[in-house]
Chain A
Amino acid sequence: MSVITIERKVLEKNDEVARQNRTAFAQRNIFTINLVSSPGAGKTSLVEKTLETLKGRVNIAVVEGDVQTDLDAQRVAKYSVPVVQIVTNGACHLEAKLVQDALVNLNLTNINLLIIENVGNLVCPANYDLGEHAKVVVASTTEGDDKPLKYPAMFRNASALIINKTDLLPYLPCSIDALKLNALSINPSLEIFETSCTTGKGIEPWCRWLEKRSVKETGAR
């Protein structure tokens, strides 16, 4: 019997394509975020509010990821921004190669910010680097305040946390302080924003963060 000793990361192929994506974004001065959450936390609503708020301030393109349908891309297309839909046909997450292939169909001329909306899932997308500069996790108040403890890998890998649906807090047993504490115990460096896509509250600080980060990461403007 013989033993072949290797020391290789299982997802090295994805990581390699992610590196290529990152290089492509850097060359074009595009700040890219990977938006993740459980299904129904409000990712697409947040994308819509962000497009509305940053109109005329930042040129944005969007990649939508879903298991089925192009409903989200249709919603985003109403804002007259470049958008492409990835339908994974059952797969629970986006991989770097899917994004790389999708970028071919996206007009990135003059784009400063690319938003990749991942498939709604707090588990699998944590493993797959897409080449983004920042992962942003959305947790809605209806999901309860213990989500960070239940899905630590996702919160650990994120740069920012958006606590969405804050307008519903009066009707829910969710404690926003407990949610923040739980998130920070997993990842003390998380930037935290509180938003309501229904009332628009808290959207502006989030958008300012996006503007600031895109200048910092890309050196553009």
Chain B
Amino acid sequence: MHELSIAQSVVDIVLQHVSADEAHRVKAVFLKVGDLAGVVPDSLEFGFTAITAGTALENAKLRIERIPFTIRCLRCGATSTQEIGISICAQCGSLETTTIGGTELHITEIEVNDPEETS
């Protein structure tokens, strides 16, 4: 359960990008989380809600996009979405593959309400 410390990192980064005045108007924080990032989205959302309760970010919700584990074969060039973590080309069976998706743990956008809007 390291999602709490990851949630704290999300809070830290968001607060670097919004002013103190904007913080309470943050509506949503968009994240990309790879299937192989070792992060449980439900736990991350739970942790985020827990640590932002009673703070300027208490209205903010996490919007998590899952990124499937995807590899590209260096032999035949095929791209395949494999069972999580398996690095064998689904097309030709080669072990010479490179991961092109599924390890992300990124914040991509922060959505902020205008002052007159309510969340």
Binding site for B on A (CB under 8 A): 1-14, 91-93, 95, 123-124, 126-128, 148-149, 152-153, 155-156, 184-188
Contacts and interface: CB of A to CB of B under 8 A. Distances in A.
Given A10-B10, A10-B107, A92 B84 contact: no
Nearest to A184: B95
Contact of B5 (A95, A152, A185): A95
Given A10-B13, A124-B38, A1 B107 contact: no
Given A152-B84, A153-B36, A187-B87, A124 B13 contact: no
Contact of A5 (B10, B31, B103, B108): B108
B113 A1 contact: yes
Given A91-B5, A152-B84, A8 B107 contact: yes
A91 B1 CA distance: 8
Contact of B114 (A2, A8, A155): A2
A31 B105 CA distance: 28
Nearest to B7: A10
A4 B38 contact: no
Nearest to B39: A127
A5 B9 contact: no
A91 to B, nearest CB: 7
Contacts, number: 97
Contacts of A1: 27, 111-114, 117
A16 to B, nearest CB: 12
A5 B84 CA distance: 29
Contacts of B1: 92, 124
B106 A185 contact: no
A11 B13 CA distance: 10
A13 B9 contact: yes
A126 B38 contact: yes
A186 B86 contact: yes
B106 A10 contact: yes
Contact of B108 (A7, A185, A186): A7
Contact of A6 (B96, B108, B112): B108
A59 B109 CA distance: 48
Contact of B6 (A6, A10, A91, A188): A10
Contact of B85 (A2, A14, A124, A153): A153
Contacts of A6: 13, 17, 107-110
A149 B27 CA distance: 38
A3 B28 CA distance: 9
Contacts of B12: 13
Interface in B80-119: 84-88, 95-96, 103, 105-114, 117
A162 B32 CA distance: 33
A2 B36 CA distance: 31
A2 B111 CA distance: 6
B35 to A, nearest CB: 9
